[in-house]
A and B are shown apart, each in its own frame.
Chain A
């Protein structure tokens, strides 16, 4: 084994350890102080009572949802940055989150859809339609979709869709209560049943994501170079878009929209293991899962008043982290 291999192995091992520590913290820390021994007791399947309700009912559930949603958003962000060759790409960029949210909100407000199963698929369909719409808008008549045009189309569509969601949510009190969920992401009491509906889709997204990483390395060369090298990238692009849609659509339907997780974490991953997508994508998933759970845990303890939603914490922590990254590296660093 070459030293650089060892180093990368070390990075992955380190990420797993960090993830483990964060998970333990998430189970130990909360508004109700429970001693570590009691937490372990409460984790036993036979345990009942207040501690079991808090540790197993609340903390374990939000930890699992945070892990899954974090991995999905991190993976999707890495894929999106590679696909669009745009270091500012974010699951919001291709209008994926907004599309998912708009579809679910329409289902609820217009057709009264509250069923979790239907909502998951609506979210996915919305994400897919939005991705296609952005791709068509960004392609234009004369040229293929460039990163800049895709980003502009995505930003425009996202703005339109969020205005639409806001308009619908103001229709009446019930709509407002239901749709608060689509404004700030949170992992509290999202329901394991909802997660179980989304899990197969997220797993499929992760598998596809890991399979396309080699082709993504070729995409990094740019269209012209790739063509010159004789690489057919059309299929890989479609597969990547499908993976992004699956990951974001399903994760958003569970936890709501999150920002900066998909944006900032892949940059950290690239700093640690270089530009090879075969390492960047899985490491982004691991780190984003840890980041998400950490943000949720911090949200429980940073204020003396109410808990702060994980979605708000990721934005608060993610923004300066991202600015620091942008200042540290030039923006062409994705390739």
Chain B
């Protein structure tokens, strides 16, 4: 994922520059009665610096899966989605899809690089929402198709990076509200309370044990270590009181790519959080890497999931932080 994004982001830049002006600002004409949308106009200043103005709030919204899931938890249902939407062998979607229900939405792409432009056009889309990580291009919109896709409906880019998960979640609550969701709902308030409580529990566990935590995305070729200062959940966990370590000689980026020889730097980590997108699949191969297998945290079995790219919602992060709080409570200082 990490490399994949870096590689394609550059390619996306050029195409987007050509289409941003044409697709962004014109009002979409729609004859379908918007049931959930508020009567007023929809105005949104997106992460690409683009002002999106529509006469009324769009009802046919198509979004990248993590974005769609975050909006759903904030009270707004998209009509279509693309992104990581391929069910696994048991029929379950990845955690990155949150509470999305495939029977209720049109899927126009189910993995990176996949986007069915025709299916999308037939939906008469009024708004597309996706992340941008480079302030230039949309994350899961394939570069080769982006001109066509962005010509069909205006696109709103939400930032890919935030200082904290609080800020990230509020961005989606705000957008959902503008799209017509009831952001004062009891469900949302409950999720927010649970979220705050889970973070407090993490703070207590951290205070009681003084655990040192590292966040990693290990592959057999290289060890990627996340710098918490450039990761929303990293900053949030640090603010909650957890000691999350940065890699040596940090690069001011999310990931530092280290040689496996350098894994010994993390001998003092009591807990390692690993990228849940890839860890299970590579677990058996990693066990054969001596400098991984002999890390004290790995030996002690104190390796837990880091739910990278989870939907930014109070509901999903309440679950993630509650799970982590439980694990930290049970973990031992090594």
Interface residues of A (CB under 8 A from B): 30-32, 50, 52-54, 56-59, 170-174, 176-178, 180, 186, 188-193, 300, 305-307, 309
Residue from the list B251, B257, B259, B278 in contact with A177, Cβ < 8 A: B278
| B88 CB → nearest A CB, Å | 9
The verdict on B221 contacting chain A, using a C-beta distance below 8 Å, is yes
Contacts of B259 in A (CB 8 A): 30-32, 300, 306-307
A43 to B314 alpha-carbon distance, docked (Å): 52
Contacts of B112 in A (CB 8 A): 170, 173, 176
A15 to B111 alpha-carbon distance, docked (Å): 49
The verdict on B262 contacting chain A, using a C-beta distance below 8 Å, is yes
Residue from the list B221, B251, B264 in contact with A189, Cβ < 8 A: B221
The verdict on B11 contacting chain A, using a C-beta distance below 8 Å, is no
A177:B264 contact, CB within 8 angstroms: no
A306 to B221 alpha-carbon distance, docked (Å): 10
Residue from the list A171, A189, A300 in contact with B289, Cβ < 8 A: A189
A95 to B111 alpha-carbon distance, docked (Å): 29
Contacts of A174 in B (CB 8 A): 278, 281
A53:B278 contact, CB within 8 angstroms: no
B113:A170 contact, CB within 8 angstroms: yes
| B282 CB → nearest A CB, Å | 7
A182 to B33 alpha-carbon distance, docked (Å): 51
The verdict on B73 contacting chain A, using a C-beta distance below 8 Å, is no
A53:B114 contact, CB within 8 angstroms: no
B111:A171 contact, CB within 8 angstroms: yes
The verdict on B285 contacting chain A, using a C-beta distance below 8 Å, is yes
Total contacting residues, chain B, CB less than 8 A: 34
A178:B289 contact, CB within 8 angstroms: no
The verdict on B193 contacting chain A, using a C-beta distance below 8 Å, is no
Contacts of A171 in B (CB 8 A): 86, 111
Supply 17 further A-B pairs (C-beta < 8 A) apart from A53-B291, A174-B278, A309-B221.
Answer: A30-B259, A52-B290, A53-B294, A54-B264, A57-B291, A58-B261, A170-B114, A172-B110, A172-B111, A173-B1, A176-B1, A177-B281, A178-B281, A189-B221, A190-B220, A305-B251, A305-B257
A186 to B285 alpha-carbon distance, docked (Å): 15
A-B contact pairs, 11 of them (CB 8 A): A31-B261, A53-B290, A54-B290, A57-B289, A58-B291, A173-B94, A176-B1, A189-B289, A190-B220, A191-B285, A300-B259
* A178, closest chain B residue (CB): B281
Report how many A-B pairs have Cβ atoms within 8 Å. 88
* B267, closest chain A residue (CB): A50
A190 to B94 alpha-carbon distance, docked (Å): 28
Check A191/B288 contact, CB under 8 A, given A30-B259, A177-B278, A307-B259: yes
B84:A173 contact, CB within 8 angstroms: yes
Contacts of A50 in B (CB 8 A): 264, 267, 291, 294
* A307, closest chain B residue (CB): B259
A172:B285 contact, CB within 8 angstroms: no
B260:A173 contact, CB within 8 angstroms: no
* B4, closest chain A residue (CB): A176
Pick the 4 closest A-B CB pairs, nearest first.
A57-B290, A306-B257, A31-B259, A53-B290
B260:A188 contact, CB within 8 angstroms: yes
The 8 A CB mask of B234-278 against A (1 = contact, 0 = none) is: 000000000000000001000001111110100100000000011
| A312 CB → nearest B CB, Å | 11
A54 to B290 alpha-carbon distance, docked (Å): 7
A57 to B289 alpha-carbon distance, docked (Å): 7
Contacts of A177 in B (CB 8 A): 219, 278, 281-282
* B281, closest chain A residue (CB): A174
Contacts of A30 in B (CB 8 A): 259, 261
The 8 A CB mask of B273-317 against A (1 = contact, 0 = none) is: 000011001100100111100100000000000000000000000
The verdict on B222 contacting chain A, using a C-beta distance below 8 Å, is yes
| A115 CB → nearest B CB, Å | 10
A32:B113 contact, CB within 8 angstroms: no
Contacts of B289 in A (CB 8 A): 57-58, 189
A59 to B290 alpha-carbon distance, docked (Å): 11
Check A32/B282 contact, CB under 8 A, given A54-B291, A173-B1, A173-B277: no
A170 to B110 alpha-carbon distance, docked (Å): 11
* A167, closest chain B residue (CB): B113
| B35 CB → nearest A CB, Å | 34
A191 to B291 alpha-carbon distance, docked (Å): 13
Contacts of B290 in A (CB 8 A): 52-54, 56-58
Check A306/B222 contact, CB under 8 A, given A54-B291, A189-B289: yes
Could you say which of B113, B259, B262 has the most chain A C-beta atoms within 10 Å of its C-beta? Answer: B259
A307:B222 contact, CB within 8 angstroms: yes
| B214 CB → nearest A CB, Å | 16
Contacts of B277 in A (CB 8 A): 173
Contacts of B262 in A (CB 8 A): 31-32
A56 to B293 alpha-carbon distance, docked (Å): 14
Within 8 A of A (CB), among B191-210: none
A170 to B140 alpha-carbon distance, docked (Å): 13
| A9 CB → nearest B CB, Å | 39
A50 to B261 alpha-carbon distance, docked (Å): 9
